[in-house]
Amino acid sequence: MTATLPRPVLLDCDPGTDDALALWLALAAPEIDLRLVTVAGGNVGLARTLPNALALVGLAGGRVPVVAGADRPLLGRFRDEAAVHGADGLGGVVLPPGPAATPGLAMDAIRAALRAAAPDSVTLVGLGPATNFALALAAEPALRDRVAEIVLMTGALGEGNWSAAAEFNAAMDPEALAILLACGRPVTLATLDLTAQAFVTPARIEALRAAPGGACLRAAADILASVPPSRRFGFRGVALHDPCAVAWLLAPALFTARAVAVAVVLDGPDRGRTRIDRWGRDQGAALNGRFLETLDAEGFFALLAARLGALP
Ligand code: RIB
Ligand code: CA
């Protein structure tokens, strides 16, 4: 039986407490050939998210190039989510400084990585506002043919976590999300409805802390413990968003999914709302998305502990 080759992945993030665990999960995964990490302003601004990404890669002993990207959305103004992630973006958890960033711009590095790849071979993983991937594909649309799948933590069936209508990543750059949804490649969505099932409680943090591992696993537990309990869940804990998108690539059996038509609202008070036709009611709408519907949470947290425990 031929062993499956690791899938080439380009990962864009805005670390970000949940991005931190997602990036470590990707770095620890033999199933993933992580070819590039790009960084957006997103949660706390590029001046923080870039050094955070570098420190995360450094602590994990990663060798992947990290390239700075857009520090603001395509349109509209930059807004942050420091209330969740802390002003530093990692909940006050201090990591040793990482290696230097690779010079250049994310959109150029993404295009170069896609040009060097085989057709239908690359998975784009988006964990922040989709600005960098959108800039790359808008600049060189033909490169969409190198993309096998786009996996995004973005959107929601219903209420948002940034506005009543919109989830943060979608709300921060809806035009960028619209470009990805229209590019003709399948977009897998880890929405708030999915990530709410990856529910972090004090018990799950303690289980992570008790698992065998090194500095990354210990820091991951500290980072999770820094996130203020969410009023969305009665202050009982928080949803762990970004690692769900990476876990889909590692253990799809933990999920159920359904093909959907998805669009993003660009105007008015619902700007950034993802309109997901879960039950196929809009006749004739192209099924451009894969909605991740359920998650085996116990399996997810076991995967997280095992994989992060394997890091330095
Ligand atoms: O809404 C949650 C998403 O917004 C996560 O990716 C989090 O890191 C922030 O970027
Ligand atoms: Ca993020």
Domains of the chain: 7-309 (3.90.245.10)
> Counting ligands in written order, which one lies closest to the CA of residue 240?
1
92 SS3 class: coil
Instruction: Report residue 301 as tokens.
Output: 């947290």
At residue 49, what are phi and psi to the nearest 5 degrees? -65, -35
224 SS3 class: helix
Q: For the full predicted model, state whether its pTM sits above 0.95.
A: yes
Measured in angstroms, how far is the CA atom of residue 184 from the centroid of ligand 1?
24
Residue 144: partners with Cβ closer than 8 Å, 6 or more residues away:
137, 183, 184, 185
- CB-ligand 1 contact for 168 (6 Å cutoff): yes
List b or e across 267-288, with b for residues whose CB sees 16 or more CB atoms inside 10 angstroms.
eeebbbbbbbbeeeeeeeeeeb
244 touches 295 (CB < 8 A): yes
> Counting ligands in written order, which one lies closest to the CA of residue 274?
1
Whether residue 3 is predicted with pLDDT greater than 70 in this model: the reply is no
Angle in degrees, 0-180, between the axes of helices 297-309 and 17-27, rounded to the nearest 10: 70
Measured in angstroms, how far is the CA atom of residue 118 from the centroid of ligand 1?
30
Distances (CA, A) of 226 to 166, 249, 289: 24, 27, 33
133 SS3 class: helix
**Tokens 């192209």 belong to which residue?**
286
Q: What is the pLDDT of residue 122?
A: 98
Give the tens place of pLDDT for each residue, 230-265.
999 999 999 999 999 999 999 999 999 999 999 999
List the alpha helices (DSSP H) in the chain: 17-27, 46-59, 82-85, 106-115, 131-139, 168-172, 174-181, 192-195, 202-210, 215-226, 242-250, 297-309
Q: What is the pLDDT of residue 2?
A: 58
Whether residue 1 is predicted with pLDDT greater than 60 in this model: the reply is no
Measured in angstroms, how far is the CA atom of residue 87 from the centroid of ligand 1?
15
Query: Quick check: bond before 16 cis, omega within 30?
Result: yes
Give the tens place of pLDDT for each residue, 30-70.
999 999 999 999 999 999 999 999 999 999 999 999 999 99
Catalytic residue among 241, 273, 290, 307: 241
DSSP secondary structure, 145-184, as one string: GGEEEEEEE---SS--SSSSS--HHHHH-HHHHHHHHTSS
